[in-house]
Amino acid sequence: MILEARDLAKDYGPVRALRGVSLALERGETLGIVGESGCGKSTLARLLVRLEEPTRGRIEFDGVDLTALHGRRLRERRRRIQMVFQDPYASLDPRQTVGGAIAEVLRVHDLARGAGRVAELLGMVGLAAGHADRYPHELSGGQRQRVSVARSLAAEPVVLILDEPVSALDVSVRAEVMNLLVRLRDELGLSYVFISHDLSMVRHLSDRIAVMYLGRVVELGPWDAVLDVPLHPYTGALRDAMPVPDPELEAGRVDAPIRGEVPNPAAPPSGCPFHPRCPLAEEICREIRPELLELLPAHAAACHVAAREVSAVRSA
Ligand code: SF4
């Protein structure tokens, strides 16, 4: 286990953005995290790289409690967990050349310096050494995101937190950047936490998928099990909202599979937080919040109805 969040919570005043999330990332694994905006997935990402402090809970990296470290020891560990943001333009300084931006990371972390390493990092992300002299505005969106990835790799991470890394890119270059991320993961033995609002985006490279709703994980399991037999109605609705490659099937789809809006996280519904939007909601759902339970091997969900149905099938 390389990275583990235990009972992680984050409050912003009355808004409880994250409400007790426990997740573990194995070495070499990609864990996809999916949910609508406001579900807490980006808050989780910021906590994992220690851009923010958790209100409660702990984060262990390679067996060491990151929340208890300070100063140089924290900086050294934190370097090993890097983040790639959605908007590469925002994370690059427009007045700094590509080479300057990468060299800055090497300098800050006191790692191998010189033009050779910068060229090597550019080559790893499919850019030419000559790109080092360019400014961000001289690059395409896809090239800028490649530079962001090279910048993250300059810190020699073992874990990358990818927060919607291709969502801001043209559809035509998304696949290229996704393929690059898969290649880098396999070649460098990296572990990924891949965050997206779009289930179809994470399924291609995730080993497991965690589905989040209103600050909690509501389903967690192997990617194919989560997609083929979603246990939680919210996951089922996200799956049904995925684009269908066949235009005829697309034309016959029922629209708006998820009715209603995400509730206000400052005043979440009683019981199961999904109950106001859930087509299967029963009386118990309005009163008692379901716990995340392993209902099938390595496949957990927080749903009263799913728990009952799985246990009925098992005892039949
Ligand atoms: Fe729907 Fe009830 Fe399951 Fe919540 S617990 S997802 S309301 S069926």
User: Distance, CA 302 to ligand 1 centroid (Å)?
Assistant: 8
Task: Report the pLDDT value the prediction gives residue 254, as an integer from 0 to 100.
Answer: 45
Tens-digit pLDDT profile for residues 23-36: 999 999 999 999 98
The closest-lying atom of ligand 1 relative to the alpha carbon of residue 286 is 7
Task: Using a pLDDT cut of 70, give the percent of the chain over it.
Answer: 95
Tens-digit pLDDT profile for residues 81-120: 999 988 877 778 999 999 999 999 999 998 976 669 999 9
Q: Six-digit token pair at 95?
A: 């007045």
Q: Place 265 in a pLDDT band, splitting at 50, 70 and 90.
A: confident
Per-residue b or e along 175-211, where b marks 16 or more CB atoms closer than 10 Å to that residue's CB: eebbebbeebbeeeebbbbbbbbebbbbbebbbbbbb
CA distances from 210 to 6, 24, 70, 150, 235 (A): 15, 11, 30, 27, 10
The closest-lying atom of ligand 1 relative to the alpha carbon of residue 218 is 6
Residue 304 scores a pLDDT above 70: yes
Residues having CB within 6 Å of any atom of ligand 1: 232-233, 272, 274-275, 278, 280-281, 285, 290, 303-305
Residue 27: closest CA among 221, 199, 185: 185
Tens-digit pLDDT profile for residues 51-60: 899 999 999 9
The closest-lying atom of ligand 1 relative to the alpha carbon of residue 285 is 2
User: Distance, CA 280 to ligand 1 centroid (Å)?
Assistant: 6
Q: Whose CA is nearest to atom 3 of ligand 1?
A: 303
Mutate to test the pocket of ligand 1, among 280, 291, 295, 308 (most ligand atoms within 8 A of CB): 280
CA distances from 87 to 144, 147, 247 (A): 9, 12, 30
What CATH number was assigned to the domain covering residues 1-80+157-244? Answer: 3.40.50.300
The length of the chain in residues reads 316
